[in-house]
Chain A
Amino acid sequence: KNQVEQSPQSLIILEGKNCTLQCNYTVSPFSNLRWYKQDTGRGPVSLTIMTFSENTKSNGRYTATLDADTKQSSLHITASQLSDSASYICVASPTGNQFYFGTGTSLTVIP
C-alpha cells in the first residue's frame, strides 16, 4: 500500500534554533519526493523536489535529504524564523501524475 508518514505530528522550537522533520514512504515504484510549506489558510508552496537519484537539495535555509534505499526523507530547517511557523507536507510520487501526501508536521516557532 502506498503511504507517506511524517513525524513528528507537531513541533515547537525557539526562534533561531534548527529542526529536522522526517518523512517515511512506501510508495512503489518511486519517482520523486517533494516538500511543501503550507501557511494557515493558504495553499502549499513548493520547497524542494528530489528524484530517486538525488540525495540532498537545498532551498535557502531549507535542506532536504533523501535515502531511496531506506525510503526516508528529512527536511532540515536552519536558524528558524517566526515565519517558518507552518505545516510542512511531504509528497511522494511514483511514475506518472500520482501523488501521495503525508499528514504533515505542524511547526511553531516561538520568540
Chain B
Amino acid sequence: GAVVSQHPSRVICKSGTSVKIECRSLDFQATTMFWYRQFPKQSLMLMATSNEGSKATYEQGVEKDKFLINHASLTLSTLTVTSAHPEDSSFYICSAFRQGATNEKLFFGSGTQLSVL
C-alpha cells in the first residue's frame, strides 16, 4: 500500500485563490520531504526541500512567497499555492525520505493535478 499519501489528487480553482496540497507519510517519520513540479512529458523539477521544524529550502527560481511550504510535523508537509494563476497549472508531487541504515527509501505521493481557470 501507499506509504505517502498526497491530497487532493486533482483540484480546479479560480485565478486568485489559494490552494493547499497535503503530503503525509503514513507509517514512518519523514524528517525531510520534497516538493516537485512536473509539466507534461517533462521530468520532475524540484521546487523545495522541507525539513521538519525549519524553513524550507527553495530551488533557484521558485518564489517562496508564492509556494508556501509548511512541515510542522514529522508526518505532514503542506504546499500552498497562493494567489494561483493559470501559469501555476501543473502536476505537483511530493516525496518523503525515510532514512535508515538498511532501509533508506524515497517514497513519492501520487501527485496533484492543479488546474487554475
Chain A residues engaging chain B, CB cutoff 8 angstroms: 32, 34, 36, 41-46, 49, 89, 91, 97, 99, 101-104, 106
Contact = CB atoms under 8 A, between A and B. Distances in A.
B22 to A, nearest CB: 14
Given A32-B104, A34-B106, 20 more contacts: A42-B111, A43-B6, A43-B93, A43-B108, A43-B109, A44-B108, A45-B108, A46-B105, A46-B106, A49-B104, A49-B105, A89-B44, A97-B99, A99-B46, A99-B106, A101-B43, A101-B44, A101-B46, A103-B43, A104-B43
A55 to B, nearest CB: 19
A7 to B, nearest CB: 13
B43 to A, nearest CB: 4
Contacts of B4: 43
8 contacts: A42-B111, A43-B110, A46-B106, A97-B49, A99-B34, A101-B43, A101-B44, A103-B43
Contacts of B93: 43-44
Interface of B: 4, 6, 32, 34, 41-44, 46, 49, 91, 93, 95, 97, 99, 104-111, 113
Contacts of A36: 108
Nearest to A49: B105
Given A45-B108, A46-B105, A46-B107, A106 B41 contact: yes
B69 to A, nearest CB: 16
A75 to B, nearest CB: 16
A37 B107 CA distance: 12
A41 B95 CA distance: 15
